[in-house]
Amino acid sequence: MEMNIALLPGDGIGPEVIAQAVKVVNAVAKKFGHTITFKEAITGAAAIDAVGNPYPDATHEVCLASDAVLFGAIGDPRFDNDPSAKVRPEQGLLEMRKKLGLFSNVRPTFTFPSLLHKSPLKKERIEGTDLVFLRELTGGIYFGEPRGRNEQGTKAFDTCVYSVEEIERLARMGFEFAMKRRKLLTCVDKANVLATSRLWRETVQRLAPEYPEVTVEYEFVDAVAMRLVQWPKAYDVLITENLFGDILTDEASVISGSMGLMPSASLGLKTKLFEPIHGSYPQAAGKDIANPLAAVLSASMMFEYAFDLMDEANIISEVVNLSLEKGIVTEDLSEGEKAYKTSEVGDWLAEQIAKM
């Protein structure tokens, strides 16, 4: 297959971890006879520095013209500590999601057999956890109008808005995911308080009869926050609005033991995007110490969701598991044993794929 992949390394550790994902993608392509063309483009603080815009039109064109986007991270402490900054790197991320129509952010949480002891939760509670969040990504309070301040600057407001159409397309994707998995769908909302949540619940209830094999549960977001750490195995597919999803997926990501491990896919109307969920981790930038596995597993999700190539996706998960078993890991996971550099882990994974 011929594949055009846009590379958006972004800020912080983004470039380092994306470089390892590229090594792995190239190794997979070689093994399975695919031809891959990468095209790199700028985003985030790097793009603000270069052209004053965190998601330049030229970058958007590269994404639109590609079959998939591999994205690193966005964010820079120079902007976090300056509340008066007019342009922020994060705006680029939001604009990219909106312009590419990426309405569904797929964030899985699963455990790695060799890392169960790294979880902050007890082994018996987490062993075998396998859930996936579908976080709505282009609506809700992140985008709703009006937003801002009153004239005196003494009040600030954000607006949460959802249309039936926005809820329905995300919910349908949730039902489809559930059909391919354990057929359990949890609608996460705050329908006891919020009008938007009541519309979510109503919409999901209307769709449910179309998917009679799927068991649907409705659960308030505060209860889910609690049950996720008590018994994460209770969940299969969870659908939720943008802000609830932002918060709960960070919570869920540490179940596996390190935030440096969880990948994500953003799906929607145009080019699909794949991204580690760990963010830019500026303290580690340029040191060759960041864990590249979330980026590498995002490349695995790319083969699955952008190209429907399961063997290619699976070989990446296998080799990642092997690196964890053999201790070919960065310092966040090395536990006093030898810590490998980011680049060494990438090299090892690529070599291993060639041998398999």
Binding site for ligand IPM (CB under 6 A): 75, 90, 93, 246
Binding partner at 90 among Mn ion, ligand IPM, none, C-beta below 5 to 8 Å by kind? ligand IPM
Residue 66 Cβ vs ligand IPM, minimum distance, rounded to whole Å: 20
Which of 11, 76, 236, 246 is flagged as catalytic?
246
- Non-local CB neighbours of 32 within 8 Å, separated by 6+ positions: 309, 311, 312
Is 308 a catalytic site residue? no
Which of 55, 190, 272, 305 is flagged as catalytic?
190
CA distance 49 to 100: 23
By beta carbon distance, the residue nearest Mn ion is 246
- Non-local CB neighbours of 304 within 8 Å, separated by 6+ positions: 265, 310, 313
Which of 49, 130, 158, 250 is flagged as catalytic?
250
Closest Cα to residue 290, out of 325, 262, 264, 260?
Answer: 260
Sequence ranges of the binding site for substrate: 97, 107, 135, 222
Residue 163 Cβ vs ligand IPM, minimum distance, rounded to whole Å: 20
How far CA 65 is from CA of 3, 224, 271, 317, in Å, comes to 11, 39, 8, 28
Residue 335 Cβ vs Mn ion, minimum distance, rounded to whole Å: 27
Question: Smaller CB distance to ligand IPM: residue 29 or 248?
Answer: 248
Question: Smaller CB distance to Mn ion: residue 66 or 280?
Answer: 280
Is 82 a catalytic site residue? no
CA distance 345 to 320: 10
Residue 77 Cβ vs ligand IPM, minimum distance, rounded to whole Å: 13
Which of 23, 76, 142, 332 is flagged as catalytic?
142
The footprint of Mn ion on residues 216-255 (CB under 5 A) is 246
Rounded to the nearest 10°, the torsion over CA 338, 287, 345, 44 is 150
Question: Smaller CB distance to ligand IPM: residue 262 or 333?
Answer: 262
Is 190 a catalytic site residue? yes
Question: Smaller CB distance to ligand IPM: residue 268 or 346?
Answer: 268
Question: Smaller CB distance to ligand IPM: residue 5 or 93?
Answer: 93
Question: Smaller CB distance to ligand IPM: residue 16 or 246?
Answer: 246
Is 136 a binding residue for Mn ion by CB under 5 A? The answer is: no
CA distance 220 to 197: 9
The helix-helix angle for 293-305 and 342-355 (nearest 10°) equals 40
By beta carbon distance, the residue nearest ligand IPM is 90
Is 86 a catalytic site residue? no
User: Strand pairing partners for 7?
Assistant: 40, 70
Residue 175 Cβ vs ligand IPM, minimum distance, rounded to whole Å: 24
Sequence ranges of the binding site for Mg(2+): 222, 246, 250
Residue 247 Cβ vs Mn ion, minimum distance, rounded to whole Å: 8
Is 311 a catalytic site residue? no
At 109, phi and psi to the nearest 5? -130, 125
Give yes or no for a contact between 349 and 323, defined as CB atoms under 8 angstroms apart. yes
- The residues that touch Mn ion, with contacts defined as CB under 5 A, are 246
Q: Which residues are catalytic?
A: 142, 190, 222, 246, 250
